[in-house]
Every structure is written in structure tokens, then in C-alpha cells.
A and B are shown apart, each in its own frame.
Chain A
Amino acid sequence: MARQPAQRSSGAGAPAAPGVWLGPARPGSLPFGLAVFFSLWLHAGLLLALVWAAPRGAGVSLAAPAIGRVALVSLPPPPEPAPPAAPEADRVVLPETPTAPPGRAQPQPDPEPEPEPREPESYEDVLNRLRAEAGEPAPAAAPAASRAAPPGRLASPEVLLWSRRAKVHVTRSWVLGPDMQGRVLEAEVAVLLGPQGQVMSISLRRSSGDAWFDASVERAIGKASPLPPPPEAGVWVFRFRPKDVL
């Protein structure tokens, strides 16, 4: 009895056999017994897990910890209303809109701007998941994760793809004199993009402290217009910070 499996494992092939459960099962042989033993244990374990998980709503709570952790780590501050509120003087408005006719650029007046309520809801979602993870009963009517993207979530592939293309496009337009290189400068601009990627206005959100650097940044954005059509018209933020060249 003991010789047979030994022969098989060395004869029928070390390459094929290891770890494979599908070998010719011989009733009464030791591996078969082991298999039954493990199988039983697995089934029992599965059953136990199901019983344990059932009252907590299996599907949602299983996924929750991962999402909860991500959200906690990179929970951003409340949405920044800064760009539109930037002082008038900082803004460079291009007088002519290049491609899109004004009618199209004018969005449907949205009576109820949504971004405000969205954020707290997402936060609640995260809290609910944490409660669930900790074994607390979820408050009634906690919305599932199907609504708006929780903060800190990875942007959609569409947005990421466009961001990359926009980055290449703007980089191509940015000219920086050698005297600027090797200096630690950083500026941030909020750019209002039309649906076709046309730059409709530029607002300096954070100055580098160097007027000439800021000018080069605004020039780069102006020159890059039209950018590749964004996934969505509106304000997009670009941060300019040259690598240390020299």
C-alpha cells in the first residue's frame, strides 16, 4: 500500500503530479483518504464562514474594509471652491474663444449644483463601512457604494488617460528659460476648459513668487489651447514644478 503512491509520484511524473488532485483516485489509498479529510474540513469551514457572515450582509461588508482603508488614508479636505472665487485681478481671460461656438460653451444652467451634498454622503458611506467592519449595526438607509465616487478613489481610466494626454500637450507648450532652470519654483493654475478642450480662462491659484515663472505657466496653458477634449468641460488644475535640471 505504501509503495504504490511512492512509485506513482516518482514514476508517473514528478512534473505532472505535484499538487494535482486529479490523479487516478484509488479508493482505499492514503491520498484519497487525505483528500476526503481536507474536503470535509474545507466544506465545514465554508459553511461556518457563511453562517458567520450572513447576518452582516455578505457582499457589501466583505468589500468594505479595503475601500474604507483607502478612503481613510487619502481622505481629501472638503472640495475646494477656491478656483472660481480667485480674485478678479489674478485671472487671465482670453478674449476670444477659439473653437467652440459660444452657444455650445454655455452649459445648461444647472439649478442645483451638486458637488456640495455629494461629499458628506460619501463620507457617511465610509463611516458606515467602518461601523460594519467593527461589528456595529449599520444605521438604516445607509446608501450603498453605488452612488458617487468616494473621495480619494482612483480617478476613472478615462480621466487618467486624458490627464496623461493633457500633460504631454501642455509640456510641449511650456518654454522655460535657462535662468529658471535649477530653481525650485512651483505654481498652480485652475484652467476652465470648454468641451472641445479650448482654454476659456486661466486663474493663478498659487503663485510661484516669481512673476516671470508665473507668466511662462500662463503662456504655456494659453499656447496649449485647445487641449485634447477633456472628459468633461470645467475647471482642471495644473501644477507646474520643473525638475532640477542643472
Chain B
Amino acid sequence: MSRAARAGGAALLWAGLAFGAGAFAAERPVIDIEDARQGRYRIAVQRFYEHPGEDGKTPPGGEALHRNLLAALEFSGVFAPLEESAFAAEARSPALDDEGSLRCNAWRALEADAVLQGDLQHTELGGLRARFRLWDVPRCQRLIRAQRFSGTPEQAGRIGKAIADQAVEAFTGLRGVAETEIAFISNRSGHPEVFIMDADGGRQRPVTRNGSLNAFPSWSPDADSLVYTSYRYRNRPRLFLATRAPRPAGRILRGLGGGAPLYRGAFAPAGSRLAVVMSAGGGTELFTVGLSGGGLLQITRNRAIEVSPTWSPDGERLAFVSDRSGLPQIYVMNARGGRARRITFDGVYNAAPSWSPDGRWIAYQTRVNGQFDIWLIDPEGRVNVPLVTHARSDEHPAWSPDGRRIVFQSGRRGRADLYAIGVNGSDLRRLTERGENMHPAWGPFRR
């Protein structure tokens, strides 16, 4: 915005004050706005300008990028893409070679809150380069001038999702999760295997094919590895690592506890340690241990069953389930040991805790009338509110890394499916279609 425009605005403001010194000047109340709409920003996504290559051909991938970008914006819960017919005259973006300008009033007349523009270019070696620009229409500001992504033409869809996530961040300060993934267990191939899918339910693909029983995947904080429980080795529960990073995959913590059963592992937020559930002393106890098996630390020590550890985002505390009171209830304790504090007192069966990324809530399942609902409780156990209630069971909640949603398994269709829901209870959507789908774990942001 030019200085002249600002000065003009200031002059108008003064003039307005003088103007406002009339009959109502002394009695203008402050107008309180207390209810925000649970709405979305309306975004116009222009089709990316395609710079022709030296051979005159347009770069590939434009359609996939556009389609994925729209879907990811829609999925974000933050934006609602406008129908292209509403801005048919300006459906195509200009090239982003200059600073650009926007006719804010024209877009405001279309009730657009945001305009997303971009262009696509060939790169050497057959790659694709995309740039995008984002405008804030009500404030008539350019939020992003030209952010660049590159990849192979096959990655065009993923670039579209990455752009959507950046647009979400530019409007809300919190990155979108379209590019993240969800790991889960599905028996669609006949056995419960580990699968992953995109956050919106797209590209569902198997991680394991061992024909055994697999359960409880947990992401490493770099989003490159999963630890999971499998009975594939001598039909006893062990922990395994699946990875796309250059680190050894397969069975981990082999000699731990003299070969005692390992029921579950959960990566610490720092990624260097795991919380594990292991048989010990007639019950199951919580331990923390390095990935290579070093630095074993026993956290709980009693004859009760302690399971389902979840880390606080700062890695300082663990929430878990214990039946030390005679019933499964949720406890919180220091991750280095000490006294556990019970936080759930309502209900006779509370389980599957999941700590929110901002640390303020623990989602968990609680039994009501013979089935489970999903509630949120704060780590001190003072505030306890329902999130998902249904006549059929909703179980195993897991937070999205932006804390805006929860993925959970539900039997509401008669068999287990995975659903995502906004933490304000809005925007419920089913993510799986085939087989029984369980134990979701929403992966962290990719770096």
C-alpha cells in the first residue's frame, strides 16, 4: 500500500472524526462481537498459468495440482473453494513474474476472502516447478508473494496439497495437514496389517504384508518411521520398525526384558526414546528406552496392568491407562517416573488416551451404556467434555498434528471404519471404505 494511500486514509479518518462530531458523537457504544462463525474463508483458486517450454509444450501436472489443491483446501476446514463459474472471467492466473496486483473490490463483490494464483514451469531433467501467490481480499493484502515448490510431474498432486497447507498457515498461523499421513490397521487383505493413507483418506496403501497380527502403529516425530506391534515373530508380541529413512527396519529391542512380551511402543516427541509396554512382575509396566535398547527406565512398578502410553508434547509427562484402582482409568505422571495421578473419575472404563499437540487436552474413550464415546479431558482432570457420542462405539482417538481434528475408529456402519472430526464437533467425515480399520495414528508434519 502506498504512502499516499495511507496518508489519504489518515486524512479521511480525521475528516471522519470531525464528521462524527454530530448528534450521536457522545453516545456511540462500543459494539461487542462475541460469536465467531464456525465458517470458512471463501477462496478463489485460479488455474495456474502454464509457461510453455522451449518446445512450446505446456508443463504436465497442472490438472492434478489443481484438483489436489482444491481438495486439500476443502479438507482443511479453513477454506471453502469458490465455484470456478463464479469467477469465469478470471479463472486463469496471471504469471507470477512481477509483483502483481489485485482488484480487491471486484473479488469482494464475489464475496471471495482469498485469491490463490500460481504458475507452472518445466525445469531441466523433466521436473516441475510451481509458484503460488495468496491474497487476503478483505484486507486487500498480498500474504504470499511467490512461494516455490518443485518436484517430478508425478508429485504435482502433493505439491497441490503442500500449497494448500501453506495457504492455511498464511490465514490462520497454523499449517494445514493435507500433506500429513495417517497410519492404521486394516484387515482388508485378510489379516490385520499396517496401512498408511493421506490425511484426507486418499492413497491408502499397505506398509506390512506379513500375514500375522499387527497393531498400534506410532509415528516417529520426523514422519519417516513407524513403530508397531506384531506377532509375526514366534507368534509373540514384539515391536517392529517400518521406515522410509535410512535406518534399520525390522524387529527392534530384541533382547529387552530377557525376551518378555512387548505390547506397544510410542515414540517420544524428541524421537530418541520410546515408551513401551512390557510384561514385568506379573503385570504389564511402562518403560522408556532408547531405540537401540539402551537406557531402559522403568516408569511404573506395581501388580496392575498399565497400557496405552501417550506423551505430552513437551515429552515431560506420560498419560496411560491403569487398572490399579480395580477399573481401567487414565493417569498422568512424569516421564522419568514418580507418582501417577489419576485424572478420570467418571465412568467405569476409560481408555486409549491421546495427548493433544498443544498439550491442553487428552482425548480418550469412555464406556457409556455398553459402548464407547470419545471425550476430552484436560491433563489436570478438571474439565471433561464429550466430543463424539454415538449409539455405536467410537474408539482410539488420535490428534491431527495441528490439533484441529481427531481421527478415530467407529463401528457406526456395522464394522470398524476410521473417521475424522473437528475438535469443535464439526465436519465429520469417513476416511475408509473397505475392511475393518482400526488403531489410527495421525502422523506429524513432514519437514
Decide if B21 is an interface residue (CB 8 Å cutoff). Answer: yes
Instruction: Verify B34–A243 contact, CB threshold 8 A.
Output: yes
Query: Interface code A186-206, partner B: CB below 8 Å = 1, 0 otherwise?
Result: 001000111000001101000
Q: Which residue of A lies closest to B76 (CB)?
A: A177
Instruction: Verify B32–A239 contact, CB threshold 8 A.
Output: yes
Decide if B136 is an interface residue (CB 8 Å cutoff). Answer: yes
- Distance in angstroms from B386 CB to nearest chain A CB is 11
- Distance in angstroms from B175 CB to nearest chain A CB is 11
Q: Which residue of A lies closest to B112 (CB)?
A: A223
- The interface residues of chain A lying within 8 Å CB-to-CB of B8 are 93
Decide if A83 is an interface residue (CB 8 Å cutoff). Answer: yes
Q: How far is the CA of A110 from the CA of B424 in the complex (A)?
A: 51
Q: How far is the CA of A160 from the CA of B108 in the complex (A)?
A: 28
- The interface residues of chain B lying within 8 Å CB-to-CB of A167 are 31-33
- The interface residues of chain A lying within 8 Å CB-to-CB of B32 are 167, 238-239, 241
Q: How far is the CA of A234 from the CA of B25 in the complex (A)?
A: 9
Query: Interface code B37-52, partner A: CB below 8 Å = 1, 0 otherwise?
Result: 1111100000000000
Given A159-B24, A234-B19; A105-B12 close (CB under 8 Å): yes
Instruction: Verify A172–B37 contact, CB threshold 8 A.
Output: yes
- For window 146-177 of chain A, which residues contact chain B by CB distance below 8 Å? 148-149, 151, 153-156, 158-160, 163, 166-167, 170-177
Instruction: Verify A219–B6 contact, CB threshold 8 A.
Output: no
- The interface residues of chain B lying within 8 Å CB-to-CB of A106 are 15
Decide if A23 is an interface residue (CB 8 Å cutoff). Answer: no
- For window 176-231 of chain A, which residues contact chain B by CB distance below 8 Å? 176-181, 188, 192-194, 200-201, 203, 210-212, 215-216, 218-223, 225, 231
- For window 1-59 of chain B, which residues contact chain A by CB distance below 8 Å? 1, 5-6, 8-10, 12-41
Q: Which residue of A lies closest to B2 (CB)?
A: A95
Decide if A45 is an interface residue (CB 8 Å cutoff). Answer: no
Instruction: Verify A107–B30 contact, CB threshold 8 A.
Output: no
Instruction: Verify B6–A177 contact, CB threshold 8 A.
Output: no
Q: How far is the CA of A170 from the CA of B184 in the complex (A)?
A: 43
- The interface residues of chain B lying within 8 Å CB-to-CB of A166 are 31
**Which of A95, A193, A218, A231 has the largest number of chain B CB atoms within 10 A?**
A95
Instruction: Verify A201–B139 contact, CB threshold 8 A.
Output: no
- The interface residues of chain B lying within 8 Å CB-to-CB of A159 are 24, 27-29
Q: How far is the CA of A212 from the CA of B424 in the complex (A)?
A: 19
Instruction: Verify B138–A234 contact, CB threshold 8 A.
Output: no
- The interface residues of chain A lying within 8 Å CB-to-CB of B422 are 178
- The interface residues of chain A lying within 8 Å CB-to-CB of B325 are none
- For window 134-155 of chain A, which residues contact chain B by CB distance below 8 Å? 148-149, 151, 153-155
Q: Which residue of A lies closest to B387 (CB)?
A: A246
Tell me which of A83, A114, A122 contacts B13 (CB under 8 A). A83
Decide if B256 is an interface residue (CB 8 Å cutoff). Answer: no
- The interface residues of chain A lying within 8 Å CB-to-CB of B441 are none
- The interface residues of chain B lying within 8 Å CB-to-CB of A237 are 28, 30-31
Q: Which residue of A lies closest to B34 (CB)?
A: A243
Q: Which residue of A lies closest to B39 (CB)?
A: A175
Given A110-B21, A179-B402, A233-B19; A220-B108 close (CB under 8 Å): no
Q: How far is the CA of A174 from the CA of B38 in the complex (A)?
A: 9
Decide if A24 is an interface residue (CB 8 Å cutoff). Answer: no
Stretch in A4-12, A33-41, A54-62, A84-92 with 4+ CB within 8 Å of B: A84-92
- Distance in angstroms from B92 CB to nearest chain A CB is 23
- The interface residues of chain A lying within 8 Å CB-to-CB of B6 are 88, 91, 93
- The interface residues of chain A lying within 8 Å CB-to-CB of B35 are 171, 174, 242-243
Instruction: Verify B173–A175 contact, CB threshold 8 A.
Output: no
Decide if B105 is an interface residue (CB 8 Å cutoff). Answer: yes
Q: How far is the CA of A149 from the CA of B22 in the complex (A)?
A: 11
Given A175-B36, A222-B138; A200-B29 close (CB under 8 Å): no
- The interface residues of chain B lying within 8 Å CB-to-CB of A174 are 33, 35-37
- Distance in angstroms from B104 CB to nearest chain A CB is 6
- Distance in angstroms from B30 CB to nearest chain A CB is 5
- The interface residues of chain A lying within 8 Å CB-to-CB of B173 are 210-212
- The interface residues of chain A lying within 8 Å CB-to-CB of B1 are 93, 95
- Distance in angstroms from A123 CB to nearest chain B CB is 12
Decide if A235 is an interface residue (CB 8 Å cutoff). Answer: yes
Q: How far is the CA of A174 from the CA of B39 in the complex (A)?
A: 8
Interface residues of A (CB under 8 A from B): 79, 83-84, 88, 91-96, 98, 105-107, 109-110, 113-115, 118-119, 122, 148-149, 151, 153-156, 158-160, 163, 166-167, 170-181, 188, 192-194, 200-201, 203, 210-212, 215-216, 218-223, 225, 231-243, 245-246
Given known contacts A113-B17, A238-B30, A242-B34, what 20 new A-B pairs fall within 8 Å (CB)?
A: A88-B6, A92-B139, A93-B5, A96-B105, A151-B26, A155-B27, A159-B29, A163-B31, A170-B33, A175-B39, A178-B423, A192-B13, A215-B136, A222-B139, A232-B23, A232-B25, A234-B17, A235-B20, A241-B33, A243-B34
Can you list 17 A-B pairs, Cβ within 8 angstroms, ordered by A? A83-B17, A93-B5, A98-B105, A107-B18, A110-B18, A115-B25, A159-B27, A170-B31, A175-B37, A177-B172, A215-B139, A223-B138, A235-B13, A235-B17, A241-B34, A243-B35, A246-B385
